[in-house]
Each structure stands twice: as C-alpha cells, then as structure tokens.
A and B are shown apart, each in its own frame.
Chain A
Amino acid sequence: MSIPGPAAPSGPAIETRGLTKTFGAQTAVGNLDLSVPAGSVFGFLGPNGSGKTTTIRMLLGLITASSGEASVLGREMPARLDSVLPRVGTLVEGPAFYPFLSGRANLARLDSADRHASPSTRKSRVQVALERVGLEAAARKKVKAYSLGMKQRLGLANALLQPRELLILDEPTNGLDPQGTREVRSLVQSLAAGGTTIFVSSHLLAEVEQICTHAAIMRNGSLVAQGTLGELRAGGRARATVLTPDAGAALAVLSHLGLVPDTGHPVPGPSGAQHLNAWLPEVAAPEPEEIVAALVSARVRVRGFSVDAESLENRFVELTGSGFNVAQ
C-alpha cells in the first residue's frame, strides 16, 4: 500500500458499547460490551443462534445497530467504514462466490470492489492468497465445482488479499475436514505472529481453544464472560472425582463437606466401582487431603481420587447453558 501504515495500534482493535440488534420482538444481540485487544487472537464463542454473526455484521456495517456503538481499529463504525474496511479481512456467515466464475476470477472480482486495491498488483496478490490456502491447483475450476471445504478456503483467501490489521473470521473451520481445520489453525497462528489481530467466532470451543489468547462467550445474544483464557478458566470451579464401590456412603460424606454431587452420569469403573463427581464449593473449599481423610474415616473404600480445575470445555457448556442446543 502506498499509504504509510498508522502507528502501532494502542487501543482495542474492536470495542462495542451497549451494542444491540433487535429483529422485531427478538433481541439477537443485547447490550454487548466487547473489548478485543490489539494483537490478540480472540475467540468469539457461543452456540448456534447466540448472536455471533449478527454482531459481526454490525461491526462491518452490513446491518445497522438498533442501539449502542462500535469502533473497529479505533474508528467509529459504520461512519468510518470506508477507511476501516480496507484494513479488515472478513469471512461472514460462510463463504459466498459467483458459482459460474473460477476461484481466481472470484477473488479478482471481490478485490476490484475495493477501490484502494491496486489493479497492477491484483494478479500477484490473488496468486499469493490462493497459494496461502492451498488452492492454486483448483484456481481455474469454476466455484460451482468446489466442495464446501474448498469454498471455505477460498473465503479465507479473499480475507487475505491484502495485508490486514484485523481479520474477522466467522466460523472459519465450518465444513473443513480435520486436516483443513489444523491448516486454518496454523494459518491463524502465523498471521497472529505477524501482528494481525484475529477475531474468530465458533460454536465449538475445541476448534479455537488451542490458538486463542482471549475469548468471549455469548449466550442468547448476551455476553456471559470475556477475558484471557486464564481468566476464563479461573472463573470455573474445581471438581473432585472419587473411584469407589461405596457410592452411597461416599456421596453422603461429600455432601457433608459442602461438595455438590454431579449425579448426571455416573461412570462405571472396574470391579463394581464407580467414578463419582462432585463440585467443590466456591468458598471455603476443603483441601483434597481433607476430603480423602473424611472418606477413609467413614470407611469408604477409596480406589482413586483427584481434584481438577474445570476444563474450559465444561466451563463453556456451563456458561452457555448447553453446548449445542440452538437458541430460540
């Protein structure tokens, strides 16, 4: 680009204040206060229908917020859309292309829509983007002959047509096989290493957990948690697991100590024993050795015992109500 880049961004790459979008009576996104630090890889998590795509559409000026404000790369959106969007690469609600054009022609078409994109470097930029997502072999094929995974890759290539300061990727691993998912992850990591802020939405925590530095969790259009992954984990409770054949006696002891038994799915163990789970109380939790001592003195045959911090996956399921149920 001929315009010198701005000084290193200091404020958040994305910030929203009370951002709200209603469709008729339904609130798709309600009173959202999001803060995405510059340079972070930010996981925007939530089950299907929790308002992720709607938020992204508002950030890009595709739809108008019902109320609230948003700024992207330090500028108000959608007022400053023309100067912000050339610095932002996007994938919104899945890829979309002209089925009757080749992959290469599609990228050239979308690139020509940005009048600040140099026509003289278009061909080489398209080529580099295609190579980056591993599509150069299929570049001449018409997009109607592409698989969903190939379209997803082409969508990523479109987001990478120019050096970007921010990438907003809505469910980028949708439709990809495990190999493709790994490739997207390593692509995101290499882009992040180059200083690009990455905002990536997903309804599957596992898809992004390994690459994110920060995350926000959405439920029914509201933000239920945001912060670094460490902060999100710290918000979770610890859980004790006991392997014993004396389930009844063990549960009584655990309850007496203030633990909350998780009787949902008792897992049978070897030779008549059971894995029992119980949540430790958030305040005045007994030490693990106290629990074991209490169990033993109550003549519970303890064959195994552990206390684990809750996995982020469980925390996610807990915060969103359920991993997969689609919100109304």
Chain B
Amino acid sequence: MSPNDPVPAPPGPKFRPSTGPLLRSELAIMFRRRRTWAMLLALAAIPVLIAIAVKLESKDNHGSGPAFLDRITQNGLFVVLTAMVLCVPVFLPLTVGVAAGDTIAGEANMGTLRYLLAAPAGRFRLLAVKYLGAAAFCAAATAAVVLAGTIVGLILFPVGPVPLLSGTTVNGWEAEGRILMVGAYVVLSLLGFAAIGLFISTLTDMPVGAMAATVVMAIASQVLGALPQLSWLHPWLFTHYWMGFADLLRDPIVWGSFGSNALLQLGYIAVFGALAYGRFATKDVLS
C-alpha cells in the first residue's frame, strides 16, 4: 500500500453475523448453573447406588428387581443397562423436564427475555438456541448415567465377554460400543419430549409451572401407553419406544425400534417446534 492511498475506513474485525456466540453463551450459562450440576450428579448417583446395593447384597436375588439387575454381578457393563431401566421412565424425564420447561419461562421470569429480544436476539433464533440447549442437556444427562455406570461397573465387578440377549457373546469392547449406542438411543428418545417442554415453556412466565407440566406429560404418556384399551394410540405416544433400547443388545442388532423411534421423535420435534414458534413469535412479552 502506498502512502498516497486513501485511508480505508477502519473496517473493524471482520466477522460474519452468526448465532454461534449466543449458542455458546447459552451452553455456558446452563453448564455453569449449580442446578444443572445438581441434576447431573443426582443422575450419576443412580448407577452408583445400584452397583453398591448389588455388591452388598448376597448373590441370590435372581429373578426380581429391574431387568438386567441379576446380571450385574457377572459383568460390570450391566450396571449401565440396569440404571437406564430406572432412569428412562422416571429420572431422565424429571431432569429434562426441568431443563426444557425452564427454557423460555425462566428467562421471562427473570425479566431477561425482554433484554434478549431487545438486543435483538430474534424470536426464531432464540427459540432455536433454547431448544439446542435443552437437547444438549438431554445428552449430558444421559452421558452422566452412562459414564458413572461404566466407571462404577469397571471398579466393582468383573468385566469380560458379555452374553447378549440373543445368547451370543461379544467381547468387552464391543459391549461398551453397544452401551454407547444405547446412550445415543436414549438421547434420541428424549428429543421429542424436550420439544414438548419448549412449547409449554412459551405458554407461561412461571418456570416451575412449565417444568411440572412438562414432567406430567411424560408421566401421562407412559400411563396411556400402559393401558391396553388404547393400543391404537400407543404407536403415537412419544414414550412408546423409550424402553426399546434393549433391541440394541441383540445379535444381529434389531434396528426396527431405532428407526421408528427416530421418525416419531422427529415428528414430535417438528410439531411442537412449530407450535412453540407459533406461540412465541406473536407472544406479548410483558414480563
């Protein structure tokens, strides 16, 4: 550049407007909150408690308790699966309901919603970021169970070749791979539920109400799923495939429930995502 060139206007650092910073900030806030860590620790405690209880108990508890329970003593990798049987219907919906129900209602309650929108965050962008945050919590919550269960299983019980549900035996590494697949299945299962929580969260300024209503949805869906008179409805319930992760423990793997579950969850994300946006886009922010 010659000294005679006109001085260009100070361009400022070049950057493309992006949603990245808001998403990063959302995740940072979520994983900096004490509440998030309390929930993750509570979830991690479940496989630990199961493992300790089994270790202390005598060996003659075959046939009672949750599925997989009696196999733990033979192989530590079953700790995760036993914990999942308890966490998927109860403890995961409880914690995910808190995270998803809080998304919009929590910001409204603190009053920060009006400042985010005045920034301007953009209503669609904010909703998308909030959903991704809730989805990240689904992954973290599941990971807490898988991680804690795997570690405590390795410490307290022998690990070796694992007999699958269909009778064949795989080595420890492949078994751990299957467990990670179970984790992925569980995360997927929770995504539709998180979208329901997001929608409920746009309806109110009271986060506790939104959380409770979201958790109630999970319970109600599972109750309906248990009534044989409503069998026509069952394939449409978002909880219908929740316990289907056992299919990943067969040889060869039965992918049917994975595929149907994925489709169903996508459907729920689409429907409740659209409902949430429909509501939020025109909502009067009076908090």
Contacts and interface: CB of A to CB of B under 8 A. Distances in A.
A112 to B, nearest CB: 4
Interface stretch (A10-18, A41-49, A117-125): A117-125
A115 B33 contact: no
A113 B114 contact: no
A113 B116 contact: yes
Interface in A1-43: 1-2, 4
Give the size category of A's interface with B.
35 or more
B133 to A, nearest CB: 13
A121 B115 contact: no
B11 interface: yes
B29 interface: yes
A198 to B, nearest CB: 16
B131 to A, nearest CB: 16
* Residue of B15, B118, B120 with highest tally of chain A CB at under 10 A: B118
Nearest to B117: A62
Contacts of A101: 29, 32
A85 B119 contact: yes
B284 A110 contact: no
Contacts, number: 102
Contacts of A88: 118
Contacts of B13: 118, 120-121
A111 B21 CA distance: 9
Given A97-B110, A112-B21, A57 B286 contact: yes
A63 interface: yes
Nearest to A158: B115
A100 interface: yes
A93 B110 CA distance: 12
Interface in A146-197: 158
A113 B117 CA distance: 8
B279 to A, nearest CB: 13
A115 B117 contact: no
A258 interface: no
A115 B125 CA distance: 10
Interface residues of B, number: 35
B121 interface: yes
Contacts of A225: none
A299 interface: no
Interface in A82-103: 82, 85-86, 88, 90, 92-94, 96-101
Interface in B79-133: 110-112, 114-122, 125-126
Residue of A62, A94, A97, A101 with most partner-chain B CB within 10 A? A62
Interface in B23-70: 24-25, 29, 32-34
A85 B112 contact: no
A140 interface: no
A204 interface: no
B91 to A, nearest CB: 24
Contacts of B219: none
A132 interface: no
A22 B32 CA distance: 40
Given A110-B116, A115-B22, A63 B125 contact: no
B286 A96 contact: no
Contacts of A115: 17-19, 21-22, 122, 125
Contacts of B118: 60, 62, 85, 88, 90, 92
A2 B11 CA distance: 5
A64 interface: yes
A236 to B, nearest CB: 35
Contact of A96 (B18, B110, B125, B284): B110
Given A62-B114, A158-B115, 17 more contacts: A61-B120, A63-B286, A81-B120, A82-B120, A85-B118, A85-B119, A86-B120, A90-B115, A92-B118, A93-B111, A96-B110, A96-B111, A99-B110, A110-B115, A114-B119, A115-B17, A120-B15
The 10 nearest A-B residue pairs measured at CB: A96-B111, A113-B119, A113-B121, A85-B120, A112-B21, A63-B284, A114-B119, A62-B285, A112-B25, A120-B13
21 contacts: A2-B12, A4-B9, A57-B284, A62-B118, A64-B284, A92-B115, A92-B118, A96-B110, A96-B112, A96-B115, A97-B110, A101-B29, A110-B112, A110-B115, A110-B116, A113-B119, A113-B126, A114-B119, A114-B121, A115-B22, A118-B13
